[in-house]
Structure 1
């Protein structure tokens, strides 16, 4: 059977046409190289080299085999490099799910940093509501999710990446629209537009708890799942909302965002299945850790 070493030894001799130099290049003795070449010729059933006391030359069959062997070695080297790149998470695919407001936070910079360091990885991004995102992680439909704080059990893990402040969103002609800072108590009796608890429990519970701490129960006029939709509904004058400040980057003309005095911050982070064997996932987590260490 012709093996990798036969091709390597043959190509060294075909290139150098000198047994002493070729044996030194492949780190074997000259007699060992001679035996390997003789074995290769025996298996092929033809002579590859013409040997004289002064020179070594390729036969016509040897020239043809040299061309073919070079292609085989190039293909093998490419396969090795490609396989190793996949194993290092430098090549392949990574499926990232994220909630709508994540796109307005600082987390996309983490995605860009990884994408820049791993151009061979195809990033598949999916925008999902928080509850659907967790189901996607659990089912293996995505490799990692970027979302609000999540309480998970092994084999799942949640890691906080940043804190996000809260602001009120009010119509541009609202009585609070031109305030620099407001308190939650300023929203007593206002009609709220909220995320439903069954789709975004961390955000919903945080807002309700904040209102209760300030002595009132938020009067929900309507519920909708996406933060961008909430902002649009506020702009239409259908109510007010408490939302992550990052949503102010959407900058709609019909909405004003006002900072809430002493409001708690929301945690944003990533969640994944620790048994997920995708090397790109490990590489992404390492990239995120390195980026956070720089800040």
Structure 2
């Protein structure tokens, strides 16, 4: 073969060129010898010589001057070397990035939330996950259970943390933790004298709920619980979000109920008391078609954290049989 400089088209390496050909070529260049290149690669010298000859045939130019003491690059070889190194570097970096993503150490997780992040299980989970996976971005989406389930089905979010324990067709789920249910009262309300309240203490109370999620779920929960006692509660919807509902409690507009994690957020003039025997279960829901490694790592951590917390709890009390959402 004649020795000619590589044309621009030849620097765009043909698809048929294998990664191994490039690796052998670069090793021979760096070692100055096929024999030394073979030793560095732990292969036979004949294999290096054959692969490089195949590479030269493919690109149509001689890459090395061959002599008794070793090899030296031709002009074509000198032109080809930067492209070969760049290709190897790109493939190596790409492979490393894919491996990082496959381990769940890179990427993003889209999370639907329906409960407070102020404290409790989710606060612990996201703090631990963020510490151990600093290159994974967590995107949080607030919404109703129906919104989240629809987004999961379309793979627009990876997971939603919802109330209840019921199985949902076409979704995977895992029950993870439970929280006490609290009533939020004005700080001077007569029930604040109690360390905990019963539903029978609340039968004559006026309740307020938000018209935004999870207001409807709280409305249904109150109706269900007080109907069991033969009472129909007085419930007044308020056209405010969660952040403004509790100040209305402080103003004396009515009581509301909420989950334990929400009580970490202090609102002036508001007191919380647990409702006796009432606990609220929470679960993670996701699509069985979801193969996001970063999400799978989050789910694995959530299950591990759940087991460690459950082992420390010996009495859950009675869990609601329905799927109320009280994380207001």
Residue 49 of structure 1 and its aligned partner are, at CA, apart by 2.4
Query: Within 2, Cα distance between the matches of 1:128 and 1:176?
Result: 32
Query: Within 2, Cα distance between the matches of 1:139 and 1:55?
Result: 60
Q: Does 1:5 align with 2:20?
A: yes
My pick for the range that moved more, 47-56 or 158-167, is 47-56
Pick closer, same or farther for the CA change 1:179–1:112 going to 2, 3 Å. same
Partner of 1:268: 282
Contact 1:159 1:269 in 2 (8 A): yes
2:120 is aligned, of 105, 118, 131, to 105
TM-score by length of 2: 0.78
Partner of 2:223: 208
Q: Does 1:52 align with 2:80?
A: no
Query: Within 2, Cα distance between the matches of 1:225 and 1:285?
Result: 33
Q: Does 1:232 align with 2:247?
A: yes
2:95 is aligned, of 73, 80, 95, to 80
Pick closer, same or farther for the CA change 1:224–1:246 going to 2, 3 Å. farther
Residue 83 of structure 1 and its aligned partner are, at CA, apart by 2.4
Partner of 2:300: 286
1:95 is aligned, of 90, 110, 133, to 110
1:186 is aligned, of 198, 201, 212, to 201
Query: Within 2, Cα distance between the matches of 1:203 and 1:57?
Result: 79
My pick for the range that moved more, 94-103 or 1-10, is 94-103
Residue 245 of structure 1 and its aligned partner are, at CA, apart by 2.4
Q: Deviation string for 1:94-148 (max 9, x for gaps)?
A: 2111014355432132123233333333322111133322333234332211121
Partner of 1:28: 43
Q: Does 1:43 align with 2:54?
A: no
TM-score by length of 1: 0.86
- Unaligned stretches of 5+ residues in structure 1: none
Partner of 2:179: 164
The secondary structure found in structure 2 opposite 1:268 is strand
Partner of 1:118: 133
Pick closer, same or farther for the CA change 1:140–1:5 going to 2, 3 Å. closer
Query: Within 1, Cα distance between the matches of 2:196 and 2:178?
Result: 19
Contact 2:172 2:287 in 1 (8 A): yes
Q: Deviation string for 1:207-226 (max 9, x for gaps)?
A: 33433445533221335685
Residue 163 of structure 1 and its aligned partner are, at CA, apart by 0.7
- Unaligned stretches of 5+ residues in structure 2: 1-15, 310-328
Contact 2:34 2:70 in 1 (8 A): no
Partner of 1:16: 31
Pick closer, same or farther for the CA change 1:158–1:61 going to 2, 3 Å. same
Matched residues, number: 294
Mapping of residues 239-258 of structure 1, within 5 Å: 239-258=254-273
Query: Within 2, Cα distance between the matches of 1:204 and 1:161?
Result: 24
Query: Within 2, Cα distance between the matches of 1:224 and 1:101?
Result: 20
My pick for the range that moved more, 97-106 or 266-275, is 97-106
Contact 1:148 1:202 in 2 (8 A): no
Q: Does 1:220 align with 2:235?
A: yes
